[in-house]
Structure 1
Amino acid sequence: MKSRFIDKLLTRLDRLDQKSLQAHFLRLVQQKGLMETIFQAVREGIILLDARGRITYANKAAVSMVGSAHETTIAGNNIAKYLRGIDWTRILDFDTSEWSKIFMHEIEIDYPSRRFLSFYVAPLEEQEGETGRGVLLMLRDTTHDREEEVSTLESERINAVKLLAAGVAHEIGNPLNALSIHLQLIDRELEQLDEHHRDSLRELLSVARKEVSRLDLIITQFLRAIRPSKPKLFPARIETLLKETLSLLKHDIQSRDIRVQINSPSDLPRIRVDRQQMKQAFFNVIKNAFQAMKDGGALTINISTLDRFLAISFVDTGPGVNAGESGRIFEPYHTTKPDGTGLGLMVVQRILQDHNGTIEFHSEPGIGTTVTLVLPFGEPQVRLLKSRTTPEDETT
């Protein structure tokens, strides 16, 4: 396709002196270089095909989308090698009326990796000396959009299941309360029996009450984990909340022979949190750490600030967990403890999300586990985020 600039240059070529001719050709080279820079910078794949379907040009994005890992260029090859299952011969033979019907299509490819691509085909003007015309092929990687769509549908499905499960849990909770009350009444009636029968029945009754209490705990933690509850935010000192939480676990600290140390800067700012929810999050994390250190150990709580974020790290000297277990640590009902519910950290995660915070988990077998809660404080600021790796970056 010839530009107006080239047409104008050709008509005036015999009237230009050498200096003017050099200036015009320099401008032409600069224009070509600019277009090449633009084509290589865009995220969309751009492929030019001649009338036979041979690739005459492909930018870096196009190569990363359809080329193999070791290919730096796909020019010179036929497009059918990369986008198989499409009748390119028929497309290249389209007439004007058929080209007017062309629109964007989406395809799925599994080479070099499984991706979804949308592409648009547009005709090019016929070139001198060639029969037929080539086409411009525009590609866009829609894999992320597809994954987002699947993720949204999955979230909607999970929310529906959660709503149903919450209703079931609530209905189970009512008879559990009745069972607990009647077990207490039976316990009182046992006083009227002789000692031999009373002791044997009381042992059975104790087992029943423990199981009812365990079911009640599971339901309570499950509802805490899935019920959205807007936190009531008030300024508070994190160190004070930690000490109040540790006072509730005083018996565990003494019976398990655990040393607890809090490291906190003296100028730590107040932070707006829901006091009860945050103490619940601290309680669950600390309780997990204590249960991991069955034979005693140390729990170090480090508080630090970075920019407008406050981090509370809980470092224990327990046995740690392997990488496989670490990847499942926030899954509901997944637990490494025989008497665990598998909901404790799920509750913590929800509380942190409600406070616009995050939870990080790192563990090394034989060394221990670190759980870090990150909370925002102060006025929000604009922060430059780390750029995401693009497919073309991975191939360079």
Structure 2
Amino acid sequence: MRKPPEGLFARLLDGLTDTCTLVLDQDQRITYANLAFLKHFGLEWQRIARKPCSQLGTPFTSAQSERLGFCPTELGPYYPGRTILTREQGGRKLFYEVTFYQPSDDDAGPWTVCTFRDVTHRFNLESQLRRLDELERNLIQASMDGIIVNDLLGNILIFNQGAARILGYSPDEVIGKINVNRLYPPGVAHEIKQKIYSPEFTGPGMLENYETSVRRRDGTLAPIWLSARILHEGDREVGIVGFFRDLSERKRLEEDLLRSERLASLGKMVAHISHEIKNPLTTIGGFAGQLERLADLPDEARHKLKLIRQEVQRLEKFLGDLGTFTRATPARKVLSDMPALIREVAELMEAGFKERGIAFQLQAPENLDRFYFDPEQFRRVLINLFKNAQEAMPQGGTLTVGLELLQDQVRLTVADTGHGIPPEHLEFLFTPFFSTKEGGTGLGLTICRGLIEQHQGTIGMDSEVNRGTTCIIHLPLGNTP
């Protein structure tokens, strides 16, 4: 009959049910094995008592794929403090947390306590949790929507690739470093939090399909559609998760549709007005020209007739611009040479440049191949931009046109060294009928934008007062007829 050694410590070991315990003497002979050990490994005390532990075989495998038995390969206070070994049984892999410990060193020499805990269930649960956690992370990262999780203080804990794409930050720049309040315009984050807790919206603790805006890394605002929920651990609130979708493209399409509808209505009205006005204008201009050519006409009268003729021409140009603005002509794209077109337009305006003392420069890469665009439409764009630059430099300056290849795009810049545009006017430059020039129609840049958008391109302005203005155009190289 198995009889445990004397002492409280041994009796405690014998009472353990979830830990298999083996005690060895200094010669690594088995002096004690608790009931849990014998039952778990299917052994009988009479067969193993006082036997070398090496006779129990090597049923375990280490993480390094070594075959190991029940005996420690080294002796020490802890060898090792804790390790994981595996064992095959009935086609299953079992996992054990193993420790070897020397509690004392008496006259009989050191004796070693070996413990084996079956942690297979815990290990499998942890593996499943790791797999679920990995799946959850992959789902979060793969989402096209932005997902941000922050604690109750606003510290960002999760920032997925969708959020990075919309906001322009990398996750490393945000997680643990930026408060969520910085991602919104002033006061908006606090307002959203109030709405999450308010029963007046979706319900306390959540907010559904709320339209607001976030601040990108470059400072610009992006319209989003936000849903948010409070996160709990039991009854305790621990944070907030927000799901948001970029509405920039939808807003752009809505604005384009609204603009198209307005232009269609305006186009009908303009066609009627132009018909009713052009004929009288032609008559007025024709008679003014005839009277101006009379030989005995006083100088003052001749000057007034000249003014009448000039105003008629200005009105005719305005009606022409208005017609172009309201009647979008499809782009007729052909394989064309952009640098050659730029030189052609610069040569056309060379006299005006020289008169004002303006130097012209073209900076273009030699490897820029011809690509598809409508040369007539772009001739209008370049003439308009060159005229604007010329009028911005009445005392002379430099007009620099640059072309640059950007992967699948061409970047065209038109930069002057003129008086610049005040910041408060920049956002209105492409608004119809807005002009900073005396006598300007306010349609030139609007028409340019429409022509460039027909090429799936973009146009923008960067300006600094007393330093000059740069117009930036991006055109896709993939344009086809």
Residue number in structure 1 paired with 2:118:
21
SS at 1:83 equivalent: helix
Conserved? CA contact 2:289–2:305, under 8 Å: no
How large is the RMSD of aligned CA atoms in angstroms?
A: 4.7
Equivalent residue for 2:283, pick from 178, 182, 207: 182
Question: How far 1:332 sits from its partner (Å)?
Answer: 1.9
Matched, 1:347 2:460: no
For the residues of structure 2 that align with 1:188 and 1:112, how far apart are their CA atoms?
A: 59
Where in structure 1 are there 5+ consecutive unaligned residues?
1-11, 48-57, 71-79, 93-103, 122-126, 128-132, 381-396
Conserved? CA contact 2:404–2:410, under 8 Å: yes
For the residues of structure 2 that align with 1:360 and 1:110, how far apart are their CA atoms?
A: 24
For the residues of structure 2 that align with 1:201 and 1:274, how far apart are their CA atoms?
A: 45
Query: Relative contact order: is structure 1 or structure 2 higher (C-alpha 8 Å, sep ≥ 6)?
Result: 1
Alignment of 1:67-82 (within 5 A): 69=181
Identity percentage of aligned residues: 22
Question: How far 1:159 sits from its partner (Å)?
Answer: 2.0
For the residues of structure 2 that align with 1:177 and 1:87, how far apart are their CA atoms?
A: 59
Matched, 1:84 2:181: no
Classify 1:37/1:285 alpha carbon distance in 2 versus 1 (closer, same or farther; 3 Å): same
SS at 1:86 equivalent: coil
Conserved? CA contact 1:187–1:202, under 8 Å: no
For the residues of structure 2 that align with 1:231 and 1:213, how far apart are their CA atoms?
A: 27
AA aligned opposite 2:281: S
Moved more, 162-171 or 181-190: 181-190
Question: How far 1:162 sits from its partner (Å)?
Answer: 1.1
For the residues of structure 1 that align with 2:362 and 2:469, how far apart are their CA atoms?
A: 16
For the residues of structure 1 that align with 2:282 and 2:121, how far apart are their CA atoms?
A: 96
AA aligned opposite 2:444: G
Classify 1:209/1:174 alpha carbon distance in 2 versus 1 (closer, same or farther; 3 Å): farther
Question: How far 1:178 sits from its partner (Å)?
Answer: 1.1
For the residues of structure 2 that align with 1:335 and 1:112, how far apart are their CA atoms?
A: 31
AA aligned opposite 1:183: I
Residue number in structure 2 paired with 1:161:
262
Question: How far 1:288 sits from its partner (Å)?
Answer: 0.8
Residue number in structure 2 paired with 1:252:
352
Question: How far 1:290 sits from its partner (Å)?
Answer: 0.5
For the residues of structure 2 that align with 1:269 and 1:112, how far apart are their CA atoms?
A: 40
Alignment of 1:1-396 (within 5 A): 21-36=118-133, 38-39=135-136, 42=140, 60=158, 69=181, 83-86=196-199, 106=208, 108=210, 117-118=226-227, 141=243, 144-145=246-247, 152-187=253-288, 190=291, 195=296, 199-377=299-477
Number of aligned positions between the proteins: 328
SS at 2:403 equivalent: strand
Structure number with the higher strand fraction is 2
For the residues of structure 2 that align with 1:84 and 1:367, how far apart are their CA atoms?
A: 50
Residue number in structure 2 paired with 1:388:
none
AA aligned opposite 1:364: E
AA aligned opposite 2:197: R
Conserved? CA contact 1:301–1:312, under 8 Å: yes
Classify 1:60/1:284 alpha carbon distance in 2 versus 1 (closer, same or farther; 3 Å): same
For the residues of structure 1 that align with 2:409 and 2:353, how far apart are their CA atoms?
A: 29
SS at 1:337 equivalent: coil
Conserved? CA contact 2:292–2:302, under 8 Å: no
Where in structure 2 are there 5+ consecutive unaligned residues?
1-17, 20-35, 41-95, 98-115, 141-145, 151-155, 161-174, 183-192, 216-222
Moved more, 236-245 or 209-218: 209-218
Question: How far 1:340 sits from its partner (Å)?
Answer: 1.9
Conserved? CA contact 2:393–2:418, under 8 Å: yes
Question: How far 1:291 sits from its partner (Å)?
Answer: 0.6
For the residues of structure 1 that align with 2:357 and 2:194, how far apart are their CA atoms?
A: 68
Classify 1:211/1:20 alpha carbon distance in 2 versus 1 (closer, same or farther; 3 Å): farther
Conserved? CA contact 2:416–2:468, under 8 Å: yes
Structure number with the higher helix fraction is 1
Question: How far 1:148 sits from its partner (Å)?
Answer: 6.1
Question: How far 1:91 sits from its partner (Å)?
Answer: 9.4
Question: How far 1:318 sits from its partner (Å)?
Answer: 0.9
Question: How far 1:152 sits from its partner (Å)?
Answer: 4.6
Classify 1:22/1:284 alpha carbon distance in 2 versus 1 (closer, same or farther; 3 Å): same
Classify 1:164/1:269 alpha carbon distance in 2 versus 1 (closer, same or farther; 3 Å): same
AA aligned opposite 1:84: Y
Question: How far 1:223 sits from its partner (Å)?
Answer: 3.0
Deviation string 1:341-385 (CA, Å, 9 cap, x unpaired) is 2222222222222122222322222222222333233689xxxxx
Please report the TM-score for the alignment, with normalisation by the length of structure 1: 0.66
Question: How far 1:191 sits from its partner (Å)?
Answer: 6.8
AA aligned opposite 1:356: Q
